Amino acid sequence: MARVTLEHVTVPLRSFELDVSLAIGATVALVGPSGAGKSTVLNAIAGLVRPSGGVIRCGEETWFDQDVFLPPERRSVGLVFQDYALFPHLTVRGNVEYARRHAADEYLERFGIAHLANARPAALSGGERQRVALARALARDPAILLLDEPLAALDAHTRVEVRTELQQLLAGLEIPTLLVTHDFEDAAALAQEIGVIVDGRLRQTGTAADLVARPADPFVASFTGANLLRGTPTGSPGSIRLEDGTLITAAEEVGEATTLAVYPWDITISTHPPDDSALNVVAGTITAITELGNRARVTIGPVSAEITAESLRRLGLETGGRAYAAFKATGTRVVA
Amino acid sequence: MRNRFGGGLFVLLAAVALVFLVLPIVGIFFHTTPGRVIGQLSNPVVVDAFVVTLKTSLVAQALILLFGTPTAYLLATRRFTGRSVAVTLVELPLVLPPAVAGIGLLAALGRNGLLGSSLHFLGVTLPFTQAAVTIAVAYVASPLYIRQAIAAFEAVDPRLPAASRTLGAGPVRTFFRVMLPIARGGLIAGLALSFARGIGEFGATIMFAGSLQHVTQTLSLAIYYEFNQSFDATLAMSGVLVIISALLLLTLRIALSWHESPSNTSPSLFGLSSST
């Protein structure tokens, strides 16, 4: 399968210029805050936005460079829009046939929407709409699949279900895929490679595990879900001191750095000071408890820990109560 | 008590307003016996006026569709310098007094007008012909269609034509298969408004085309000229126009209720680089 490559593709945006180089072979996710230029990258690949410079290639074919600008209809892309952009005046079959005049039924079958063939998009659920949008986008046998915030239009309930469905679909697809999301978890679940984009620049690319293990900067760290501990140098190479005087020991040289990252799942919570002196301990009042299914997020001072709902009850934790968050030195990463 | 009094007053005022609006139409149909009015439908003045109105209106509306639709599409979907000036120019005939429009058409296309002498050289004389009626109608009625059509095209989610392009359809196919069907309701509503304005045209027509029976005398003009000769003929023609207007109003309401409700639009995408 042909790779789609972007070399210094630049697009002037409102407050900054997008400048991205990227090679898409397997499934790649672009993650970043809204307004970072993620969707613009998709639109540039699809030909809906004309970059001011750079080169876009699909295998041997040039889609964009200084002298070439192929219109969208001549690029082999399947773009699934955020909110799906199904044609409201056509049935499900009509939507798929729009892209493929023959054997549309085969696609309806493949995506499990044959029974909806004569329904209008307005009558479909979010998950069904996504399947129609995917069937439509893939009906042209595109060289690359582009997904713009594929899960953003769904409510929390259907989201997980549709994500699983999408995961299976992408695993079976033989074409490069670029998806855009503001949710790191979605990106980690769906893509083999993740690029973190902020203000039009790629800050870091790698597998989800790479990004978590070695976040390149505080933004990437907090984006991947880490707590950021900001402090001042202590003079000793392996630790920093937080504002409240707590000493945090890192497993690596801190040097001049003052920011450490620690992930919520590396933190344990207790109601009594832990007696293991090898642990970093942040003591304080619980400022927030958020329960999500069978997990709970407990915030004490600068850190949030993820624990099971069962531990939450067993420990009898409550907002306003005093508690201790503990984590090993090896649970910290130096980010800045 | 006070509330009930206030409510009663409102109902009373509304009733007066409704009666006021409907009364003239009732008057047209009940002033004389229906038999006498129907008899007038074979009066050659009435028949001629009906044929002239129908012919000129149909040709004018066809021209408005042909030129107005692409104009509205470009104004709705492209962003260019001078766009708001163009939109204002399109709306100009709407606020122009019809008599002024008529004089303007004469001054532009009349024998001694701006383009008139060149037209005359080519053997074309427009004033006081049926073509002049058509032009006058098209001039005063087109803004109603174009305005509505701009709104209809602007209401189409810009991601839909974008989706069409990525699915392999060029701009032409995208226009006919996506934009036109989705904007359809608004376009038909605009055409109904334009049609209604066109059949009522008086001022510009009389200035530019005159009122020659069988040639340029439309129903609206004939009503004015027959007023002193035969009130029955006037009533018959008025009745015909009331029925046509009612049908147009019905078309308008149905067309607007059809309006597929596209999701909220963001004026970005095509050609413009703004979204996330």
- Chain B residues with a Cβ under 8 Å from any Cβ in chain A: 157, 159-160, 162-170, 177-178, 181-182, 260-263, 269-276
- Judged against a pLDDT cut of 70, whether residue B22 lies above it is answered with yes
Nearest to A14 by CA among B265, B72, B125, B268: B268
Beta-ladder partners of A84: A81
- pLDDT (0 to 100) of residue A54: 94
Q: Give the closest of B261, B263, B270 to A48, CB-based.
A: B270
Order of strands across the sheet with A295-300? Answer: A268-270, A322-327, A280-292, A295-300, A303-308
* A38, A88, A140 ranked by CB distance to B168: nearest: A140
Mean pLDDT to the nearest integer, A174-202:
92
C-alpha closest to that of A163 among A174, A179, A176, A175: A179
Query: Which of residues A36 and A77 earns the better pLDDT score?
Result: A77
Minimum CA–CA partner of A89 in chain B: B182
CB B57 within 8 A of CB B49: no
So what's the pLDDT on residue A87? 96
Comparing A47-56, A88-97, A271-280, the range with the smallest average pLDDT is A271-280
Q: What is the mean pLDDT of residues A117-146?
A: 92
The predicted structure's pLDDT at residue B119: 83
* Both tokens assigned to B210: 């005159």
Is A88's CB within 8 Å of B162's CB?
no
| Spatial distance between the Cα atoms of A138 and A161, rounded to a whole number of angstroms | 21
**Distance from C-alpha of A137 to C-alpha of A111, rounded to nearest angstrom:** 12
Q: Please report how many Cα atoms fall inside a 13 Å half-sphere around the Cα of residue B122, on the Cβ side.
A: 8
Q: What is the mean pLDDT of residues A231-253?
A: 84
Which stretches of chain A sit within 8 Å of chain B by CB?
11-14, 34-40, 43, 46-50, 71-73, 75, 77-79, 81, 83, 85, 87-89, 98-99, 136-137, 139-140, 180
Question: Given a cut of 70, is residue A228 above it in pLDDT?
Answer: yes
Top-confidence residue, B111 or B176 = B176
Tell me which chain B residues have a C-beta less than 8 angstroms from the C-beta of A145: none
What average pLDDT does range A41-52 have in this prediction?
95
pLDDT, position B1: 53
Residue B269: pLDDT over 70? no
Under the banding of pLDDT at 50, 70 and 90, the label for residue A236 is confident
Nearest residue in A to B261, CA atom: A88
The full DSSP string for B110-136 is: STTSTTHHHHHHTT---TTSHHHHHHH
- What is the Cα–Cα distance from B209 to B195, expressed in whole angstroms? 19
Contact A40 B276 (CB under 8 A): yes
CATH number for A226-334: choose from 3.40.50.450, 2.40.50.100, 2.60.40.10, 3.40.50.2300: 2.40.50.100
Taking the C-alpha atoms of residue B123 and residue B125, their distance in angstroms, rounded to an integer, is 7
> Average pLDDT in the B189-218 region?
93
Contact A48 B262 (CB under 8 A): no
- A48 with B162: Cβ contact below 8 A: yes
Q: Mean pLDDT across the stretch A181-186?
A: 90
Inter-helix orientation angle B180-199/B44-77, to 10°: 140
Using the predicted structure, report yes or no on whether residue A129 has a pLDDT greater than 80: yes
Query: From the list A75, A83, A89, which residue is nearest B181 (CB)?
Result: A89
Top residue of A73, A86, A90, A129 to mutate, by most chain B CBs within 10 Å, is A73
Question: pLDDT tens digits, residue range A159-173?
Answer: 888 888 889 888 888
pLDDT more than 70, % of chain B:
92
Average pLDDT over residues B29-49: 84
CA distances from B180 to A64, A105, B153, B173, B187 (A): 30, 26, 8, 10, 8
Q: What is the residue type of A45?
A: I
Which of B168, B261, B274 shows the shortest C-beta gap to A73? B168
Question: What Å distances lie between residue B247 and A234, B60, B210, B244, B256, CA to CA?
Answer: 86, 19, 28, 5, 14
Which of B163, B169, B274 comes nearest A85 by C-beta?
A: B163
pLDDT of residue B274: 35
Q: What is the mean pLDDT of chain A?
A: 90
Give the type of residue at A7. E
Determine the average pLDDT of the residues in A99-117: 87
Whether the predicted pLDDT of B84 surpasses 70: yes
- Rounded Cα distance between A129 and B21, Å, is 48
Domain spans in chain A, listed from the N-terminal domain onward: 4-76+142-219, 226-334
pLDDT for A44 equals 96
- Å between B263 CA and nearest CA of chain A: 9
Contact A48 B269 (CB under 8 A): yes
Strand A144-148 vs strand A77-80: parallel, antiparallel, or unpaired? parallel
**Contact at CB, A79 and B163, closer than 8 angstroms:** yes
Given this model, what pLDDT does residue A255 score?
74
Residues of B in contact with A49 (CB under 8 A): 269, 271-273
Instruction: Mutation target for B interface from A49, A82, A129, A130: give the one with most B CBs within 10 A.
Output: A49
Question: Does position B264 have pLDDT exceeding 70, yes or no?
Answer: no
For B181, name the nearest residue in chain A, comparing CA atoms only: A89
The Cα–Cα gap between B55 and B130 comes to: 9
Which residues does B50 contact at the CB level (< 8 Å), separation at least 6? B219, B237, B240
Q: Is the pLDDT of residue B271 over 50?
A: no
**Which pair of structure tokens corresponds to residue A41?**
């990258």
User: Residue B170: closest CA among chain A residues belongs to which residue?
Assistant: A73
User: Which residues of chain B have a CB within 8 Å of the CB of A34?
Assistant: 276
Structure tokens given for B132: 């002049």
- pLDDT band, residue A50 (cuts 50/70/90): very high
Cross-chain residue pair A89–B269, CB shorter than 8 Å: no
A192 pLDDT exceeds 70?
yes
For B165, the closest of A12, A73, A136 (CB atoms) is A73
pLDDT at position A208? 92
Residue of A nearest to B262 (CA): A88
Which alpha helices (H) appear in A147-278, and where do they start and end? 156-172, 184-190, 208-213, 218-223
Asked whether the beta carbons of B170 and B179 are under 8 A apart, the reply is no
Give the C-alpha separation, B64 to B42, whole Å: 31
Of the candidates B207, B198, B197, B200, the residue with the CA atom closest to the CA atom of residue B99? B207
Do the chains contact at B165 and A136, CB–CB below 8 Å? no
* Contact present, A260 and A253 (Cβ < 8 Å): no
Query: What are the tokens at A67?
Result: 């002298």
What's the burial of B25, exposed, middle or buried (CB within 10 Å: 0-12/13-18/19+)?
middle
Give the single-character DSSP code of A279: S
Question: Cα(B3)–Cα(B8) distance, rounded to whole angstroms?
Answer: 8
Q: Which of A34, A50, A72 sits opposite B166 (nearest CB)?
A: A72
Distance CA B70, CA B150 (A): 10
Q: Please tell me the predicted confidence (pLDDT) of residue A73.
A: 95
Across A125-154, average pLDDT:
91
Q: Does B270 score more than 60 pLDDT? A: no
Chain B interface, best mutation among A43, A45, A58, A120, by max B CB count within 10 A: A43
**What is the sign, positive or negative, of the torsion defined by CA atoms of A177, A181, A183, A186?**
negative
| Lookup: tokens for A245 | 């005087």
Beta carbons of A98 and B167 less than 8 Å apart = yes
Instruction: Name the DSSP class of A72.
Output: G
What does residue A77 show for φ and ψ, rounded to 5 degrees? -120, 150
pLDDT greater than 60 at residue B230: yes
Residues of A in contact with B177 (CB under 8 A): 98
Asked if A85 lies within 8 A of B260 by C-beta distance, the reply is no
Bridge-based pairing of strands A239-242 and A227-233 is antiparallel
- The Cα–Cα gap between A22 and A37 comes to 14
Nearest CA in chain A to B162: A48
Mean pLDDT across A285-308: 89
| Residue B33, pLDDT above cutoff 50 | yes
Averaged confidence pLDDT in chain B: 87
Counted across chains A and B, CB pairs separated by less than 8 A come out at 86
Nearest residue of chain B to residue A137 (CA atoms)? B167
Mean pLDDT for A202-224 is 90
Domains delineated in chain B: 31-258 (1.10.3720.10)
> What is the model's pTM?
0.82
Q: State the pairing for strand pair A27-31/A193-198.
A: parallel
Bridge partners, residue A296, by sequence: A291, A307
Residue A8 pLDDT level (bands cut at 50, 70, 90): very high
In this structure, of A279-288, B117-126, B201-210, B230-239, the range with the lowest mean pLDDT score is: B117-126
Radius of gyration of chain A (CA): 24
Tell me the fold of A4-76+142-219: Rossmann fold (3.40.50)
Could you give the CA distance from residue B227 to residue B235 in angstroms, rounded to a whole number? 9
pLDDT at A267 over 60: yes
CA A162 – CA A167 distance, rounded (Å): 8
